[in-house]
């Protein structure tokens, strides 16, 4: 019995020693998942945000509106439904949740905060330019959207919606602050962006130009709201924006499987679900003295260049190699776009000669960007004068130069150009002007989510 009691006492003493000293011999990080870091550096966040932004703008965000603009067409399955104006809240849920808010927008919000705390204004400026681009894409498609109360995680799972007017003010503030950040001297930064910047490799002078280019774009969007002041603001911003194709804000992809362009990935996984539109093909084939030199780059010529009429699901060509190859770029804003903005603004300001010159430069820049400059073709199609230039011509060539980009949809809603005929097979009689809000917002933030239809108009689309 005595032996038993001693043994019990020994065990109890041993347990007390082990319990009291466990913190010393058990690694406190044993339950930490190395694949889920609680904090990341600015240099890690930046490429994540850029690739996320590229996948959103180069993929799901633009498919439906590019079909409505009759540049793309639905060949089968979901895209064919989009082309017939069957476009629902479930179709935008993933790109809203993961492609934007919980992905690159959250990354940029984190970067903006960390850059201020860590005294890295250049990183902060880059993040603000990117955030302005993404807010612009969201509000131009959906109108009102969460921002000022967003990005708080569990602290606020039902953020209020900012109006589009408020979001445009936010865009302007972000770009103003970005320019101020990027103007800071190198010595004001504890850490400098470099090779992890997949767009400009840390060249903040290029990011500064991009900020002014975006300022011009978003000023022009308000032409129905602000009239002449919109054109003046845009022209002023352009004086410090892009001056060459090499300045373009765009993200190039790679040939490795995990680096492929999003449109290439879609076509590879779902061939012929998305094809090219008949209107795009027919208009580019009709130019004189020959078809538009960009056509075989925008449309795959492998089996002949054929487009599908809107909503008809006809056999047609795939998107061409310039935007749908493994390593193709996703453009966000370009020098060519800036020249067409300039042309429109000058024409509206009664400077027809300046508008004609800017238009001609825009057409030539677009061809040069794709490596198909053609003096004979440009002599006919990039040779406008003060007497011949029109707004319709400006918007038509901008439609070609910005092919498969979200901005085409914005331009059409602003100006009515190009003049498009709605899909005969469409479930509504007019071309949609508004994206539906996603399922997740309807289910979990329904009290704040606006009630809209595909034919609703955003604030600036009077």
Ranking 12-16, 216-220, 321-325, 343-347 by mean pLDDT, the lowest is 12-16
Identify the pLDDT of residue 312: 98
The pLDDT value recorded for residue 35 is: 53
Mean pLDDT over the full length of the chain: 93
Instruction: Tell me how far apart the alpha carbons of residues 358 and 339 are, in angstroms, rounded to a whole number.
Output: 5
- Higher-confidence residue of 154 and 173: namely 173
pLDDT (0 to 100) of residue 33: 55
Vertex 35, ends 30 and 37: CA angle to 5°?
Answer: 80
**pLDDT confidence bin for 34, thresholds 50/70/90:** low
Cβ 337 vs Cβ 402: under 8 Å: yes
- Cβ-Cβ contacts under 8 Å for 113 (sequence gap 6 or more): none
Average pLDDT over every residue of 211-218:
98
What sign has the CA pseudo-torsion 376, 382, 388, 394? positive
pLDDT, residue 17, reads 36
Inside any domain, residue 274:
yes
**pLDDT value of residue 21:** 42
Other Cβ atoms within 10 Å of 258 Cβ, number: 5
Instruction: Assess if residue 361 is contained within a domain.
Output: yes
Domain count, the chain: 1
Lowest-confidence range among 168-172, 253-257, 391-395? 253-257
> Is 262 inside any structural domain?
yes
Q: What is the CATH number of the domain that holds 343?
A: 1.25.40.390
Higher pLDDT: 25 or 162? It is 162
> Considering the domain boundaries, does residue 457 fall inside one?
no
Res. 298: pLDDT tops 70 = yes
Residue 350 is given by DSSP the state: T
Q: For the segment 69-101, what is each residue's pLDDT rounded down to a tens digit?
A: 999 999 999 999 999 999 999 999 999 999 999
Q: Categorize the per-residue pLDDT at 293 as very low, low, confident or very high, splitting at 50, 70 and 90.
A: very high
pLDDT number for residue 156: 87
Q: What residue has token string 């949809």?
A: 409
Average pLDDT over residues 199-215: 98
Q: What is the pLDDT of residues 243-275, one digit of tens each?
A: 999 999 999 999 998 899 999 999 999 999 999
Residues spanned by the domain of 368: 42-431+440-444
SS3 for 67? Answer: helix
Say if residue 404's pLDDT is above 60: yes
Confidence of residue 39 (pLDDT cuts 50, 70, 90): confident
Question: Strands (DSSP E) along 236-364, which ranges?
Answer: 249-252, 274-276, 329-333
* Coil/strand/helix, residue 310: coil
Mean pLDDT confidence for 344-355: 98
The confidence score (pLDDT) of residue 158 equals: 95
Query: Tokens 């190039």 label which residue?
Result: 252
Start-to-end C-alpha separation, the chain: 95
Percent of the chain residues topping a pLDDT of 70: 92
User: Looking at residue 3, what is its pLDDT?
Assistant: 34
Report yes or no on 33 lying in a domain.
no
Within a domain: residue 78? yes
pLDDT band at 12 (very low <50, low <70, confident <90, very high): very low
C-alpha neighbours within 13 Å on the C-beta side of residue 145: 29
Residue 364 lies in a domain: yes
Is residue 22 pLDDT above 90, yes or no?
Answer: no
pLDDT digits (tens, 9 = 90+) for 122-142: 999 999 999 999 999 999 999
CA distance 397 to 192: 39
What's the rounded Cα separation, in Å, for the pair 361 and 337?
Answer: 11
| The predicted structure's pLDDT at residue 38 | 63
pLDDT over 60 at 23, yes or no: no
Are 204 and 182 within 8 A, CB to CB? yes
Q: What proportion of the chain, given as a percentage, has pLDDT over 90?
A: 90
Mean local confidence (pLDDT), 204-218: 98
Distance (Å, whole) CA 447 – CA 65: 27
Query: Is residue 2 pLDDT above 70, yes or no?
Result: no
**Residue 156 maps to a domain:** yes
Cis status of the peptide bond prior to 289, with omega within 30 of 0: yes
């Amino acid at each position: 019995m005595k032996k038993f009691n001693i043994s019990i006492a020994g065990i109890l003493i041993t347990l007390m020693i082990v319990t009291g000293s466990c913190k010393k011999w058990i690694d406190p990080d044993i339950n930490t998942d190395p694949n889920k870091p609680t904090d990341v550096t600015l240099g890690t966040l930046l490429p994540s945000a850029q690739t996320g932004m590229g996948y959103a703008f180069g993929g799901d965000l633009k498919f439906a509106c590019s079909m409505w603009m009759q540049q793309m067409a639905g060949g089968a399955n979901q895209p064919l439904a989009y082309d017939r104006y069957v476009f629902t809240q479930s179709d935008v849920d993933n790109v809203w949740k993961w492609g934007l808010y919980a992905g690159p927008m959250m990354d940029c919000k984190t970067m903006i905060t960390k850059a201020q705390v860590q005294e890295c204004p250049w990183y902060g400026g880059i993040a603000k330019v990117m955030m302005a681009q993404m807010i612009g894409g969201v509000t131009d498609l959906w109108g009102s959207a969460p921002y000022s109360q967003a990005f708080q995680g569990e602290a606020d799972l039902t953020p209020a919606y900012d109006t589009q007017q408020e979001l445009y003010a936010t865009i302007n503030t972000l770009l103003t602050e970005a320019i101020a950040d990027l103007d800071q001297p190198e010595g004001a930064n504890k850490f400098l962006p470099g090779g992890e910047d997949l767009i400009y490799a840390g060249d903040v002078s290029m990011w500064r130009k991009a900020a002014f280019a975006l300022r011009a774009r978003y000023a022009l969007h308000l032409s129905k709201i602000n009239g002449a002041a919109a054109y003046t603001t845009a022209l002023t911003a352009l004086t410090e924006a892009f001056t060459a194709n090499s300045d373009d804000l765009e993200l190039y992809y790679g040939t490795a499987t995990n680096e492929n362009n999003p449109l290439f990935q879609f076509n590879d996984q779902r061939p012929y679900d998305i094809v090219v539109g008949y209107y795009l093909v027919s208009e580019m084939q009709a130019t004189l003295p020959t078809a538009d030199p960009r056509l075989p780059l925008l449309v795959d010529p492998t089996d002949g260049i054929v487009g599908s009429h809107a909503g008809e699901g006809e056999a047609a060509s795939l998107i061409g190699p310039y935007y749908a190859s493994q390593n193709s770029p996703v453009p966000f804003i370009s020098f060519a776009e800036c020249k067409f903005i300039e042309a429109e603004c000058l024409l509206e300001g009664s400077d027809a000669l300046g508008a004609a010159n800017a238009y001609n430069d825009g057409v030539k820049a677009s061809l040069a960007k794709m490596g198909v400059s053609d003096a004979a073709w440009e002599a006919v199609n990039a040779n406008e004068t003060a007497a011949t230039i029109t707004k319709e011509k400006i918007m038509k060539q901008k439609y070609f130069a910005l092919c498969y980009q979200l901005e085409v949809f914005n331009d059409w809603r602003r100006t009515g150009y190009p003049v498009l005929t709605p899909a005969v097979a469409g479930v509504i009689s007019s071309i949609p002007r508004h994206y539906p809000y996603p399922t997740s917002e309807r289910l979990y933030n329904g009290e704040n989510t606006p009630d809209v239809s595909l034919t609703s108009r955003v604030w600036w689309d009077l």
